[in-house]
Amino acid sequence: MGSGKDDAAEPAAENIDRLNANLAKMEELSKRMVAALGKKDLSTDAGLSGPGQDLYVKAGTAYLNEMMNNPSKLIAEQVAYWGKAMENFAQVQQAMARGEFEMPDADDGPLDRQFANPMWRTHPYFRLVRQQYELNAQAIHSAVTQLDGLDRTERQRVEFFSRQIVDLFSPTNYLATNPDALQKAIDTDGQSLVDGLENLVRDIEANKGELLPTLSDPDAFTVGENIGATEGKVVFRNKMMELIQFTPLTDKVHKVPLVIFPPWINKFYILDLKPQNSLIRWILEQGYTLFVVSWKNPDASYAEVGLEDYIEEGYLRAIEIAKDITGEKQVNAVGYCIAGTTLAATLALMQKRGDKSIRSATFLTTLTDFSDQGEFTVFLQDDFVDAIERQVTEKGILSSYFMSKTMSFLRARDLVYGPAVRSYMMGEAPPAFDLLYWNGDNTNLPGRMVMQYLRDLCQGNALAGDGFKILGETVHLSDIKLPVASIGCKTDHIAPWRQCYVGFEQFGSKDKTFIMSESGHIAGIVNPPSKKKYGHFTNPDISGGPEAWQEGATFTEGSWWPRWETWLKKRSGAMVDCCIPGESGYDCLCDAPGSYVMEKSTA
């Protein structure tokens, strides 16, 4: 029987061996990381990563003017800043001098959720780090808000990029100042750091030297099996899209078929994540013949593909095929985000041509008037757009990486720093989350189309202004005459509902319905009735601007889907026998979700 001393030594020796093994792994992983970083494309335009120098010059000049015009105020702020910093330091120094490693949980008010660990309040070191960070953040915010001499757009950009700096330097983002990460490293003998480094190397290798955290477990989902799996057939394919006809789920269907145009910035299965939250499946259950476009993921050979190609070979072709298959003269159409913007241009073009193939149209989180570009304003100025133009001129496409990076940094805490901390410092595996999996399954964008969208529609605001020139016509929002519905989302940061409304009210239609869903750009749309999660607002009066509309709106608990379907079925005709894919002269090329959706982008 061994002595107590020997028994205690054995676990200690095991811990040392484990720690040494982990250190060896970290050395090997570090070599891999260096090799992966060496694959970074150094030819990437630096303008894609930050604003032009003119913004810094203007901000610096404005701050210098403030110093010169109001020096007493600046001095008072500096004195207050240093006074508070010294007070915080003195409190910690006194506690440490007394040998106290836990301070009273002072009533500092509620803390930011990133500081959930009690040690941010009670441990002298972490409390000082947290207080100093908050003090610095407040000082930056105060300095920015007091800048004069900046126009509205410049101020918005300075505020955005200053928030990025504040978020970047949060102490939770660094191992030495993150108590949760440090404690886990101790508890696991460094295993959490090894796992984190493995995750970091994996992401750098996957993005060819660039770094963007993986948000969802890449092995948890397979498109066509446990995500995007509603039954259907690809009934047509060209260079722009595959057209999927979904298998009916009812014996009788409404006479007028429905065609959905999803955005080509991402893939269509956001509307078909799983049966419980699939808008596609729910529409089939209500008794509709449903077609959905799955867009091609372009490569450099698509450099000269423009919005004309999306309209002619996508929208108009899909509409004709849906009419041909069902034998109907009209279809109802739905456009989501950028696909809704292009649907608006298509409807205006069809009106000019006298084409009445669309009976009604629905727009999901769709901007058509870009006079206020919301949070995207910071990226829609010439410095960024010029850099994008240089990039697509050289490469032919805008890589999915840049679009994904831009979207992520609009919500940096949730989509960049938070996931990075959990993955790289805590060593956690990405969650099996269908929405985040879809979010990471991005697509490239054709160079010519990108510049048309950015220059003409966003910067030039052509649809709501002087007119958008497309396929030999100049079209305006006022050219749209058919019945229309628009769904905006209350907290949408990509397509703010007020701006969706501003464009929508300019349509020339007499029959207009606007619905505002609770939540944001995705969750507000993918909001099945079964969840009973987010409600919606309605107001039939579209004449008084967004504020007046909201003031007079009525709130209803639950999803907007049934409300919209009541609107849609009034424009969808009588019930007829269902139309099975492959029975109307078009061969079934393959099963849904098709082949285009499977194509992956590279960084």
Instruction: List strand residue ranges (DSSP E) for 248-341, in order.
Output: 252-254, 258-261, 290-295, 331-336
Rounded CA separation 527/448 (Å):
34
Q: Distance of CA 544 to CAs 369, 517, 541, 553, Å? A: 16, 19, 7, 12
Rounded CA separation 534/555 (Å):
11
The bridge status of strand 473-475 relative to strand 331-336 is: unpaired
The token pair at 256 is 């007028």
Would you call 588 a catalytic residue per the annotation? no
CB 509 within 8 A of CB 481: yes
The token pair at 133 is 């960070």
DSSP reduced 3-state for 479: helix
CB 210 within 8 A of CB 603: yes
Helices 124-145 and 152-168, packing angle to 10 deg: 170
Rounded CA separation 588/140 (Å):
60
Rounded CA separation 407/32 (Å):
28
Rounded CA separation 115/172 (Å):
8
* Active-site residue (options: 337, 458, 489, 579): 337
**Residue closest to 248 by CA, chosen among 279, 291, 213:** 291
Chain Cα centroid distance, residue 279? 19
Rounded CA separation 287/13 (Å):
68
* HSE-CB of 542 using CA atoms within 13 angstroms: 21
Please list, in sequence order, all residues whose beta carbon lies within 8 angstroms of the beta carbon of residue 350, skipping any fewer than 6 positions away: 316, 356, 357, 358
Rounded CA separation 216/437 (Å):
5
Neighbours of 382 (CB within 10 A): 13
H/E stretch holding 232: strand 232-237
Please list, in sequence order, all residues whose beta carbon lies within 8 angstroms of the beta carbon of residue 9, skipping any fewer than 6 positions away: none
H-only helix segments in 169-293: 179-187, 191-206, 279-285
Dihedral over alpha carbons 557, 559, 565, 567 (to 10 degrees): 50
Q: Distance of CA 559 to CAs 230, 420, 531, Å? A: 21, 33, 8
Residue type, 145: T
Residues with catalytic function = 337
